[in-house]
Amino acid sequence: APADGSTYLRAFLLPANTDSQDLEGKHTAYRGIFQVSIVTKAGIGRGTASLIAEEIAALFPNNLELVKSGLSVFVRSPMSTSTAQQGDTTSSLPLSFQYRADTF
């Protein structure tokens, strides 16, 4: 966390069980949830976090394809925002989407 109390992001990759949907066993489906938490000072309201959440949601639209080293990962759900979590000195607004990648 920044010493000056400024807003920051925390990212989490929450993988689900890996699956296969063919009889040969060549297909592998990687699924899970990508979560970003926007952490702000407690007591400043939700305005700052909400604006940042909108910007992040615009970066990861449903069905977006992300490619790295030949592996395509797809955003499989719209970005959703959960209830803010209040701490003593910070407030955390989690937002997340489901992802999926398939190999053959």
User: What pLDDT is attached to residue 1?
Assistant: 82
User: What pLDDT is attached to residue 43?
Assistant: 87
**CB count in 10 Å sphere of residue 48:** 15
Q: SS3 for 50? A: helix
Residue with tokens 């940042």: 52
pLDDT, tens only, 27-79: 999 999 999 999 999 988 889 999 999 999 999 999 999 999 999 999 999 99
Residue with tokens 């063919």: 22
Which domains are present in the chain? 8-103 (3.30.2000.20)
Output DSSP code: residue 35: E
The encoded tokens of residue 18 equal 């890996």
The encoded tokens of residue 52 equal 């940042």
